[in-house]
Chain A
Amino acid sequence: MNGMLIFTRSAVKMQNINYITGLSWRYSPKTQIVAIDPDKKDSTVQILSEDFFSARNPQISYDGNFMLFTAQRKPNDPWQIWEMNLRNFTSRQVISSNENCIDPAYLPGDKLVFSKLDLNDTCKGGYSLYTCQLDGSSIHRITFNPHSYFASSLLKDGRILTISRQVYPDNGVQKLMVLRPDGTKCDIFYELTEGSTLLSQATETANGKLIFIEKTQSLATGGSLVSIRYNRPLHSRDNLSSGIVGEFLSVSKQISGKLIVSYRKSDADRYALYEFDPEKKILGNVIYENSGYDILESVVVEKQEIPKKLPSEVDTAVKTGQLLCQDINVIKDQSQSRSIASQLSRIEVLGIDSILGVVKAEQDGSFYLKIIADKPFRIKTIDSNGKLIQGLSDWIWLRPNERRGCIGCHNDHELAPQNLVPIAVKKLPVSLPIHVMKIVEKKISSE
């Protein structure tokens, strides 16, 4: 199969999708995973997902011999994760769940990450991220906040890059989040502007770019081809398709450095596969088109560099994580920071449905918390009079034994810490919430 081009096609014309809940996100009925030999002019299409009612999201293993995908056997089955041996085209089910399990991505060490719908979850999220062995064992949940996570891919540095959107208490702006495969150090990677959405998994190129499809409201079903630099993702957005009329639906890379995009010129057209030169920002030749199908996504079967296999600091014997903030007075807008520096004195830590505690910041603005693990919380800063200074932060969680640092509140993610000893770490951490044991018990029983 080496060199074969695998893609998903849908006879049903692309509809506008509910990007907010993600319940139907990217998963339309009767989609097929097929393969062609792109080097052969009249290559016949080989249907790989014949045994399935609908299949999507093919992901090739690092050795190029296997393919993870998401599929429904029957029309009303939940979507599940399968793996196909590309040498003999046999498939086996990796995950078996009553809920939708979608968007798998290979992890080093014979593991995968996927999104699973958790409808009755105490975290009030949508799709959470899970990891497991390729044999389906050792399933671990790795995200614990009221967000939905989709379309994960793996960065070369070993972290998971995933599309995330807050769903509780209200819907937030979509972001690309990054986290370690053990669920630690989850942080923002790229933030969209209000009204924009991400349509595709991001693909990392050899020259350090992340390329994905970003949809603005003006486009019907597709979006623009956007690149950001791995080294500075928050401030390097480049619309590669700015001079091109039409819409993009997905993007994947080839070893040559060229991209394969799913593109259509107008509503009247179907999405087809084209080459794209990211350096020259030019749409190339069509690779595959079929007037009966929209081509949703594609992937080339080839051996790939294995991302770093990151070690894990998670220790499930420990029931808490630790959070250090260097200075709550450091905020994104430094001019504002100066004016409020002397006023901030306390932080309020809020869980999903309760206040976990109010903690006085040290004189240097630092605080050091030991918080029950795997529970979402947000932080707001208040002055000595109880007046709100900085509103609620994004949802955070800490994995068991995770230790995390932040420089300030809502801080600029491009700021490295000052080299100083925060007063807070000269003392023991403040444990939150006060009745830790009770919550530990609750957590254990819920698992």
Chain B
Amino acid sequence: MGVLIALGLLIYFPGRKMAREHVNTKTAVSDHPLLCSKCHLYTSENALVSKLLNEDYYSPFNLAISKDGSRLYVVAQEANSLLVVDVEKQQIINKIKVGNQPHTVILSKNGQKAYVSNQWSDNVSVVDLIAAKVVDTLKTGNGPAGLSLSADGQFLYVVNSYASTISLIDLKSGEELKRFTTGNNPTGVNLSPDEKTLLITSRRAIIAPYGEPVVSELTEIDERTQRVTNRHNIESAYMMENVAFTPAGDLAIVSLNRPKNLVPSIQVEQGWMMNYGIAIVEQKKNGRVIQLLLDEPNAFYPDPFGIAITPDGKKAFVSSSGVNCISVVNIDSIRSLISKSTTEELNSLSNNLGISDHYISKRITTGSDPKGLVISHDGKRLYVAEQLEDKIAIINSETFDKIGSIDLNGPKRITVNRTGRRLFNNSGHTFQNQFSCYTCHPDMHEDGLVYNMAAKDMGRNLTNTQSLREIHHTPPYKWNGKNQTVYKQDGIRFSTVLTRTEQFNYPDLDAITAYILTGIQYPPNLQFNPSGVLTKSQQQGKKIFERKTDNYGAAIPVNNRCITCHNPPYYTNLKLADVGTLAASDDSTQFDTPHLNNIYASAPYLHDGRAATLEEIWTKYGQTDKHGKVNDLTKIQLNDLIDFLKSLRAPRYEKKSTK
């Protein structure tokens, strides 16, 4: 017995010491709880473990309502379903399977059909609501999101969010008639009450060199001519998720973020990191675009998403996903403010954190991550899709009281992953709730902006936001690879220089890490590699990617071959490299070799976002041949190489194709 105890002690103490050292190395702190399961179980990708740990939630995202108000049609994003909800009984009466990652639902003019955009299937499901089944599937562009019917109901406009286009589909033939280019990463679309004008929002800013103003496009289509008639520049703003018109049609209101990425990230106080607001687009000739904040001097309302306007045109509701609240906007107060102010005065209000007092009537608290909004046709009720609550909140749109909640009966257990996602989407862990992880990583991806992270001195170390999709196997993290794990990335330094508030407690840090490492997936690469079969150009590009000799037959040094540093399946060797792009304003360092799957969706490129396109990496910034041997390539070969790079996709899709 004594021997056993001695043996046990001999194993225990050195073992514990080793475990402590291991945890300290991984977390970069010395007091993270020494519990193996917190990391190894939560972040396990084993199918069985994953199944046991996780749940299949509904995650309601957008919704529509029948004319009589008796039915809600709810897009359940994670269940790939359209839920038909009996409002009176407050229960789901039908669950109709649609495509992958459905985004938006709208109803036909007679209310008998629903159109559901399937963002990860590149199609729209046409649902017969009487038969409660999908009766047709319409092919769209890449990443269908917002939907709108034409004035006569004969055509369907589908916003292709990943391809930055909008498709016009003839509902009789099901054929796509035309496709217009929109702003960068569009989502929302709405038809004006006079049915003449369509406005399409975009989330990402137009890619421009760092230092140029951040400008995003609001695309305007004349529904009668079906032509793009205007591309409004919405300045100093991005992430315009949705747009709504007042019933009178005099104003359109767009939700937006006002980033401060050009300002050194030296403080959070006084709105120095990110602001949130609405754009008021006057619908008249030479109408102005006015931006007003939803924020207050010491309180911020991150990630505005849905907008719904009451039938009397008096109130607009805006869901602030990052702070679990709905802001009630008094539209008459805004009209009054606009009418008595000059354009110059209105422009100066766009950064005013106090002006919201004039038009915000109320902040209504909701469940986790409020997204889509819909108002009943009588204007009395507001329904809110609480994405991470699996509930639909019912709010009295006159008293602003929460009068009920429809439980979609998702899993009752809140898993570690779900907790992590809630933390990710919520701004509670930043000073004054100024931003959430989601703010700069929308869709858990990246926002396309370059930030001045102001290392030692301000103006140094410009940083291109990196995608968080499937980064489990691609450590280290950060552009210079200084963070060996996500635990460190989101640790004390993160709170000191970025969130500037209390750091995550360890259970929260474990949860958000688990979510980041296992809960975020790449969308399928349906635009450039839907089946795994490469096009001729992609095949040529693959050869160039893997080549060992240049066009003149000379051997390319191993370190200068694409495949050496960007080896599959993640297309990174997880090492640091010097690719000759260190800027004078960068601290001297090498670069973390980035992973390349779905790289087509991550413009701009290079650590400081200097390359607007993949081409520019090698045309403008690859002249020294330090970032791979490329200068012998013909333009055709470079195009092939880029076509191949665009074809790269997550390993799990490759596995499926192989099967």
Contacts and interface: CB of A to CB of B under 8 A. Distances in A.
Interface of A: 108, 157-158, 185, 187, 230-236, 308-313, 322, 324, 326, 334, 368, 403-405, 407, 412-422, 425-429
Contact of A425 (B210, B459, B503): B459
Given A313-B496, A413-B270, A403 B454 contact: yes
Nearest to B496: A311
B213 interface: yes
Contacts of B296: 231-232
A236 B501 CA distance: 25
Contacts of B259: 419
Given A313-B496, A415-B352, A419-B262, A308 B501 contact: yes
Given A232-B357, A313-B496, A415-B351, A429 B458 contact: yes
Interface string B244-272: 00000000000000111111101101111
* Those 5 A-B pairs whose CB atoms lie nearest each other, nearest first: A416-B271, A425-B459, A414-B354, A403-B266, A231-B296
Interface string B441-471: 0000000000010100111000000000000
A308 to B, nearest CB: 4
Given A231-B296, A235-B354, A310-B502, 11 more contacts: A232-B298, A236-B357, A308-B431, A310-B431, A334-B348, A403-B267, A403-B458, A412-B352, A413-B270, A415-B352, A417-B272
21 contacts: A157-B501, A158-B502, A185-B267, A233-B297, A309-B502, A310-B500, A322-B266, A403-B264, A403-B266, A405-B267, A407-B270, A414-B354, A415-B351, A416-B258, A416-B351, A418-B236, A419-B213, A419-B236, A419-B258, A419-B259, A419-B260
Contacts of A230: 298-299
A6 B463 CA distance: 53
Contact of B432 (A157, A324, A420, A425): A157
A421 B293 CA distance: 21
Interface string B178-221: 00000000000000000000000000000000110110000000
B492 interface: yes
B497 interface: yes
Interface in B288-303: 293, 295-299
Interface core residue of A157, A309, A425 (most chain B CB under 10 Å): A425
A420 B211 CA distance: 7
B211 to A, nearest CB: 5
Contacts of B298: 157, 230-233
B419 interface: no
A185 B270 CA distance: 10
Nearest to A189: B298
Contacts of A232: 296-298, 353-354, 357
Chain A at the B interface: SS class: loop
B233 to A, nearest CB: 14
B495 interface: yes
A335 to B, nearest CB: 10
Contacts of A412: 352
The interface size bin for chain B is: 35 or more
Interface core residue of A312, A324, A422 (most chain B CB under 10 Å): A324
Contacts, number: 132
A313 B299 CA distance: 22
B267 A420 contact: no
Interface string B346-367: 0010011111010000000000
B275 interface: yes
Contacts of A313: 496-497
Nearest to B433: A157
Contacts of B260: 416-417, 419
Contacts of A414: 297, 352-355
A109 to B, nearest CB: 10
Contacts of B495: 311
Contacts of A416: 258, 260, 270-272, 275, 293, 295, 351-353
Contacts of B452: 421, 425
Nearest to A417: B263
Nearest to A407: B270
Contacts of B272: 405, 416-417
A48 B32 CA distance: 40
A412 B271 CA distance: 13
A319 B321 CA distance: 41
Contacts of B459: 368, 421, 425-427
Given A322-B266, A405-B272, A414-B353, A419 B214 contact: yes
Interface in B398-438: 431-432
A415 B501 CA distance: 21
A185 B497 CA distance: 13
A177 to B, nearest CB: 13
Given A419-B259, A425-B459, A231 B299 contact: yes
Nearest to A368: B458
Contact of A185 (B214, B269, B275): B269
Contacts of A185: 267, 269
B353 A158 contact: no
Nearest to B355: A414
B582 to A, nearest CB: 17
Nearest to A307: B502
Contacts of A426: 459
Contacts of B271: 416-417
Nearest to B493: A311
A308 B210 CA distance: 34
Contacts of B432: 157
A231 B266 contact: no
Contacts of A405: 263-264, 266-267, 270, 272
B500 to A, nearest CB: 7
Contacts of A324: 264, 266, 458
A413 B458 CA distance: 22
Contacts of B354: 232, 234-235, 414
A158 B264 contact: no
Contact of B431 (A157, A234, A312, A326): A157
A421 B211 contact: yes
A182 B266 CA distance: 15
Nearest to B295: A416
A311 B210 CA distance: 30
A403 B496 CA distance: 12
Interface string B297-332: 111000000000000000000000000000000000
B458 A425 contact: yes
B586 to A, nearest CB: 14
A45 to B, nearest CB: 39
B464 to A, nearest CB: 16
Interface core residue of B267, B275, B297 (most chain A CB under 10 Å): B297
Contacts of B357: 232, 235-236
A230 to B, nearest CB: 6
Contacts of B264: 324, 403, 405, 425
A404 B267 contact: yes
A420 B213 contact: yes
A404 B299 contact: no
Interface string B468-504: 0000000000000000000000001001110011110
Contacts of A309: 502
A108 B502 CA distance: 10
B254 to A, nearest CB: 17
